[in-house]
Amino acid sequence: MIPVSLQQIADDVTGRLLGAGHEDATASSVTIDSRQATAGTLFVAIPGERVNGHDYVQQALEQGASAALVEDPERALATGADPARLIAVPSTQDSLGDLARHNLARVREAGIPLVVGVTGSVGKTTTKDLLAVLLEPRGPIIAPPGSFNNEIGLPLTVLRADENTATLVLEMGADRVGNLEHLTGIAPLDIGVVLAVARAHLGEFGGIEKVAQAKAELVTGIKPGGTAVLNADDHRVAAMADRASDVRRFSKLTEVDVYATDIQVGADGRASFTLHAGPESAPVHLGLVGEHHVSNALAAATVAIVAGTDLAEIARLLGGLGAASPHRMDVWSKGDLTIIDDSYNANPDSMRAGLRALAQIGGSGRKTAVLGVMLELGEESDAEHAAIGTELADLGIDTLISVGAPPLAESARRAGVEVAEVSGVEEAWSVIMPLLESPGTILFKGSNGSKIWQLADRVKEETC
């Protein structure tokens, strides 16, 4: 964050200082966690479901924070906080976005940063991680850890940028129409990437076409003169081209601006292919596990090409990258046992991609899928889970441990798959433990709310 005075912060967020005497004090960073407050920090008090940040305002100030942004002044003052160091606003979450928008404007006045945004129903975090490496040669780069892709995480990422930032990579998520319009309003993009329109959050959106409508908001949020990077293999994404003045396409199937040929997947589940851009080509051997990552790599390569990176350098960097964010196709082995942790989240398309990786890596050995429920699918939920059950049999998966997903278990059982059906992760652990002592390959996959990631973490503790 470019340092600014408390009075400037109040002006940026249309707030007011509750007392006098500290107007000229400055803040140079922002946090929503009072434990991370240090000298020069602005603490933003967010009222959460379980914890209310207003109860920790004085703690943040005692640790050196310059000031706190509050929407419940009385609750903040009750902690003993100095009113001259409190900035009152109607909504701290909205004001966090306002502050980020003004910070990015100041960053752009101070330099010429490249702002890249990535959205899609699948692959956002992996593509963001790839971009963080491919664009690093441009100079100081900011990219969020994990999935800081919502109305709080994205502003916090933008607020890490300062006058030295050369590249800002942003992951942008959406679970309803209007989300991406809001996020691109905070951070207008120089390059916007749309990966795929898949069956995620169907319950919230109300159908796949609404998902497409929401993702298209990212393209609309690209600055004049900016570039849209679109997946030509997804017809709903390809149709967004008419919203942008400059479009670059990537594909696994057809010859477009950037495309792949000779795609092959090794026994370790890692893909190799030839990367093409115009008359140039280069061989790529991905460090990531899963053929579906070819599309993510093509998207990241396209952005890097637009940014001026050499194709041979892109191919070299892609080959050295493994899973950078937790619970995303993280693969490790202990003796003859292989674990695939893709438990961060799940929708029907990403679930199928994970199962294909299990089938590929597991080969002729014992293959076990530990699968949790796929949430937010609305009326399609039972049908989508049943379809995954059939897919298990088609891919030759030997065993399903179904965690809280009865339609999935029932379908897999009918298809001839051995099924252990449990209600939660604690019950699942007793079924999983004996498998850790014998050869085979185990996949962990489920929506974040299914808590399958907790099982993956416990397995990692046992096997690493």
pLDDT per residue as tens, the chain (464 positions): 999 999 999 999 999 999 999 999 999 999 999 999 999 999 999 998 899 999 999 999 999 999 999 999 999 999 999 999 999 999 999 999 999 999 999 999 999 999 999 999 889 989 999 999 999 999 999 998 766 789 999 999 999 999 999 999 999 988 888 999 999 999 999 999 999 997 655 556 567 888 899 999 999 999 999 999 999 999 999 999 999 999 999 999 999 999 999 999 998 899 999 999 999 999 999 989 889 999 999 999 999 999 999 999 999 999 877 665 778 889 999 999 999 999 988 889 889 999 999 999 999 999 999 999 999 888 889 999 999 999 999 999 999 999 999 999 999 999 999 999 999 999 999 999 999 999 999 999 999 899 999 999 999 999 98
**Apex 54 CA angle, 49 and 60, nearest 5:** 120
Q: What pLDDT was estimated at residue 322? A: 64
Last residue within a domain, chosen from 92, 119, 150: 92
Q: Is the separation of the CB atoms in 233 and 291 below 8 Å?
A: no
Last residue within a domain, chosen from 62, 92, 122: 92
Q: What domain range is 427 assigned to? A: 330-463
Pairing outcome for strands 16-17 and 86-88: antiparallel
Burial of 209 (0-12, 13-18, 19+ CB in 10 A): exposed
Q: Are residues 315 and 339 in the same domain?
A: no
Q: Is residue 383 part of a domain?
A: yes
Number of domains observed in the structure of the chain? 3
Last residue within a domain, chosen from 267, 290, 319: 319
Q: Is the separation of the CB atoms in 411 and 308 below 8 Å?
A: no
Beta bridge partners of 420: 401
Q: Are residues 359 and 433 in the same domain?
A: yes
Q: Is the separation of the CB atoms in 282 and 312 below 8 Å?
A: yes
Q: Are residues 261 and 340 in the same domain?
A: no
Whichever domain contains 274, its CATH number is 3.40.1190.10
Q: Which of 115, 191, 195 is nearest to 158 (CA)?
A: 115
CA distance 220 to 302: 19
Q: Are residues 41 and 176 in the same domain?
A: no
Pairing outcome for strands 114-119 and 189-194: parallel
Burial 146-169 (b: 16+ CB within 10 A, else e): bbbbbebbbbbbbbbbbeebbbbb
